[in-house]
Amino acid sequence: MADKGIYGIACVEGFMRMCMDGWDQGWHERNGGNLTYRMKEEDIEACRPYFHTPGEWVKMGVQADNLAGEYFITTGSGKYFRNVEIAPAESLGIVEINDAGDSWRIVWGLENAKPTSEFPSHFMNHSVRKAATNGANRVIYHCHATNVIALTYVLPLTDRDFSRALWKSATECPVVFPEGVGVCPWMVPGGADIAVATSELMKTYQAAIWAQHGLFTSGPDFDITFGLAHTIEKSAEIYWKVLATGQPILQTITDDALRSIAKDFGVQLNEAFLD
């Protein structure tokens, strides 16, 4: 079999596959969305032979002690998920974080490019989720999931309203995200302020919604992180289909039914969101 070089290494292959999966879903118009993966020691060693002389350190405007010295695979700013497979070295790359935990430098890829403009948000979310999961969390994903975005025009922008609407629109939801979802009011994307606001939500939730913009999900691997985004977006789509009929809702999943699901599946539902 032909040697695929760095593209044959599992973490890079999985990263690229997830980008194409997101593209196939229609969540990544133009350069919309971004993906980062915090590499394991064995990932770094497998990729190291492909590293070049590192670029300059670049400050991020955010800082995290628990990410000092880590390596991330990241999509590039202004790069299209659609092109990840045909132009990977321009569309994504690997960055190293400095000992102060406040700057990155490119060690592979991102040719004539730099990490996603949302790297500060990804970075702060990684920091919070790494701490919240004892190091298990490795993936942060941002997509422009259509039905989720549309809901931010008609539902009150509260964690409770969104969590309840999503839980009640598909029976699997309370099992997949029993803590609910966080909602961030509309903010200017790409900076430290939205990064800090989102990471505050990620202390409690695996997923956060950006009003009129998109969705952030987190997880230990690509399957679970993509699956979470897929589940949330699917549920939002069902909710829309129900609203679009204009019919009165005759039945839904009751709060007691939600409690029964939680009991049988052994998950702890966020009681603050139940009546």
Question: Closest CB to ligand 13P among 31 and 169?
Answer: 31
Would you call 29 a catalytic residue per the annotation?
Answer: no
**The one-letter amino acid at 142:** H
Catalytic position from the list 118, 179, 233, 237: 118
Which region holds residue 190: left if phi is over 0, alpha if psi is between -120 and 50, else beta? left
Number of C-alpha atoms within 13 angstroms, CB side, residue 11? Answer: 24
Q: Are 177 and 206 in contact (CB under 8 A)?
A: yes
* Pairing verdict, β 103-109 and 58-59: antiparallel
Q: Min. distance of Cβ 57 from ligand 13P in angstroms?
A: 19
> Rule CB under 6 A: which residues touch ligand 13P?
31-34, 75, 77-78, 116-118, 142, 189
Binding mask of the shown chain, residues 195 to 214, with x at each position contacting Zn ion by CB under 5 A:
-------------------x
Question: Closest CB to ligand 13P among 46 and 150?
Answer: 150
> Which of Zn ion, ligand 13P, none sits in contact with 31, Cβ below 5 to 8 A by type?
ligand 13P
Q: Are 198 and 208 in contact (CB under 8 A)?
A: yes
Q: Min. distance of Cβ 216 from ligand 13P in angstroms?
A: 10
Question: Closest CB to ligand 13P among 122 and 164?
Answer: 122
Cα separation, 65 vs 31, in Å, equals: 30
How many CB atoms are closer than 10 A to CB 98?
16
Q: Min. distance of Cβ 39 from ligand 13P in angstroms?
A: 19
Cβ partners under 8 Å of residue 150, min gap 6: 236, 240
> Which of ligand 13P, Zn ion, none sits in contact with 91, Cβ below 5 to 8 A by type?
none
The residue ranges that bind Zn ion (CB under 5 A) are 214
| Catalytic sites, residue numbers | 118
